[in-house]
Chain A
Amino acid sequence: MKTPLYLDYSATTPCDPRVVQRMLPFFSDAFGNAASRSHAFGWTAEAAVEEARSQVAQLIGAHQKEILWTSGSTEANNLAIKGVAQMYREKGNHLITAVTEHKAVLDPMKNLEAQGFEVTWLPVDGRGRVDLKQLEAAITDRTILVSLMAANNEVGTLHPIAEIGAICKQKGTLFHSDATQCPGKIPLDVEAQHVDLMSISAHKMYGPKGVGCLYVRRKNPRVRLTAQMDGGGHERGMRSGTLNVTGIVGMGEAARICREEMATEAQKLRALRDRLEARLLKALPDAVRNGDPDARLPHLANVSFPYVEGESLIMGIKELAVSSGSACTSASLEPSYVLKSLGLGDELAHSSIRFSLGRFTTEAEVDFAADRVIAEVKRLREMSPLWEMVQDGVDLSQVKWTHH
């Protein structure tokens, strides 16, 4: 087994070799600026960009003219949220989102709040789901945007975006969805799901880093945005800046592969993920699966291992590249806000591990990962005073701890 073994595909993916092959000429021979209209170098680049635009559009059921290139999902989210807020401020000053969104949605919202916009922060239930009745009730005639992710990046819970889209459409408010985790995993269709704006990033779908896109609906309704980047008027004036042709070509090819292979790939991922999860939960009493057991991404498992601490677990399974809900490694010492929003106590949040599998994960790798995690959790539990207390019949919630 080649270690460290990569099981963090929700953080980023390697480029598919087919993507790399497709990109290579655009680093050197075909280096033209897609905005150069006066010569063949520009025309070649422009043709490649438009082909990629069409490939990405097909992935999400959009028209190619509705795809706007960005540097990634963070920029796409910023552009969608701030761009809508500024463009529609005459209509209203109210936006709605949920507490489990990525920081790239939460922070632009906070920024708007500081500027005088009103933001409703919807809570989630223990599975990470928003209450659609609560969403509906929160929409007023001053609401200009609802932003809810298609799938959560930490626990994998899917929001029912088709139903959310229908509510927004009926109420006459725009709907933005951060779908960064979804391409190649779950079907995306901006028409059927009534999505007005959608953010996607190449590096989560076996494309390169530094490129992404924002889908912006052109009809029923036509969505307008205030540009956040002014300059040469690229991308219909909504996002200036010379296009990252090489990256865009890679994203196009990545989108093509995701679309064509999703049916088989998602099934394979689900089987591997279920195998990993089943082994962990069977071997380790009290291990807890986080998120929605039903509506969730097929490649992701988020599991808490009570009585052991997350950072020490990560340290013990250093052959595995995974993410932890414990923020002990950062300066803040605060555990994941997403897990806390689901109602997990700090202790469970601290001991959670996110495993995200991908295109190149094998069954042997999954078994190796399960073996390592099981062995290490057992070792750390033998070292854990909490595990000892529980074995002695102590109710940890009744213990008087000395807080620091």
Chain B
Amino acid sequence: MAYSDKVLDHYQNPRNVGSLDKNAPDVGTGVVGAPECGDVMKLQIKVGDDGRILDAKFKTYGCGSAIASSSLATEWLKGTTVDAAAQIKNTQIVEELSLPPVKVHCSVLAEDAIKAAIDDWRKKKAAAQAAGKPAAQGAQP
């Protein structure tokens, strides 16, 4: 299979590999996929008081395109807002990495991982507010 230069670059020099503390109130974690399908992505975001994503990390079990998709996603997430991040579409990843049709599912997985991480963060925030505690990361517009 021929990979695009961008896929190869992300595969060889993956950005933001690692983990954030999944128990921290300002960290959202998304784990999507299944080992038997050949892809598992873990994507984490650390969100600041202003709703900006301060940091993003990933770990991916999967093919080169899956690794590249999640690596690219973390690049896009860092510095953007949660609301903007929720708008990221898999088609943008497909386009940026020139993924062939058989690898489109890798980009779908990355989009799902972003959404799952945001959901997790929102749930934590809502739970914290319901418990009457001031949300650790402040008010969200």
Contact = CB atoms under 8 A, between A and B. Distances in A.
B131 to A, nearest CB: 26
Given A312-B11, A329-B1, A383-B14, A404 B37 contact: yes
B59 A402 contact: no
B60 A384 contact: yes
B27 interface: no
B40 interface: yes
Interface in A187-201: none
A386 B63 contact: no
A384 B37 contact: no
A312 B32 contact: no
Of the candidates B3, B64, B105, B112, the one having the most CB atoms from chain A within 10 angstroms of its own CB is B64
Interface in A347-381: 347, 350
Interface string A156-189: 0000000000000000000000000000000000
Contact of B61 (A345, A346, A384): A384
Contacts of A346: 35-38
Contacts of A384: 59-61
Contacts of B105: 404
Contact of B39 (A309, A382, A388): A309
Contact of A309 (B32, B42, B61, B102): B61
A39 interface: no
Given A315-B11, A382-B17, A383-B14, A402 B61 contact: no
Contacts of A316: 11
A309 B63 contact: yes
Contacts of B11: 312, 315-316
Contact of A385 (B36, B40, B64, B102): B40
Contacts of A347: 35-36, 38
Contact of B102 (A308, A331, A345): A331
Interface in A378-404: 382-388, 396, 401-404
Contacts of B3: 315
A404 B109 contact: yes
A353 B25 CA distance: 41
A17 B141 CA distance: 75
Nearest to A306: B35
Interface string A1-35: 00000000000000000000000000000000000
B38 A309 contact: yes
Contacts, number: 89
A66 interface: no
Contacts of A382: 17
Interface string A76-94: 0000000000000000000
Contacts of A69: none
B33 A312 contact: no
A396 B40 CA distance: 12
Q: Which of A308, A310, A311, A316 has the most CB of B within 10 A?
A: A311
A326 interface: yes
A394 to B, nearest CB: 11
A383 B41 contact: no
Given A312-B11, A384-B59, 9 more contacts: A308-B61, A311-B63, A312-B66, A383-B14, A383-B59, A385-B40, A385-B60, A404-B34, A404-B39
The 7 A-B pairs at the shortest CB distance, nearest first, are namely: A401-B34, A346-B36, A385-B42, A347-B35, A311-B63, A385-B59, A315-B64
Interface of B: 1, 3, 11, 14, 17, 19, 31-42, 59-64, 66-67, 102, 105, 108-109, 112, 116
30 contacts: A309-B38, A309-B66, A311-B63, A312-B11, A312-B62, A315-B11, A315-B63, A328-B38, A328-B63, A329-B1, A331-B102, A333-B38, A346-B38, A350-B36, A383-B59, A383-B60, A384-B59, A384-B60, A385-B60, A385-B61, A386-B35, A388-B42, A388-B59, A401-B35, A401-B36, A402-B33, A402-B112, A403-B37, A404-B105, A404-B108
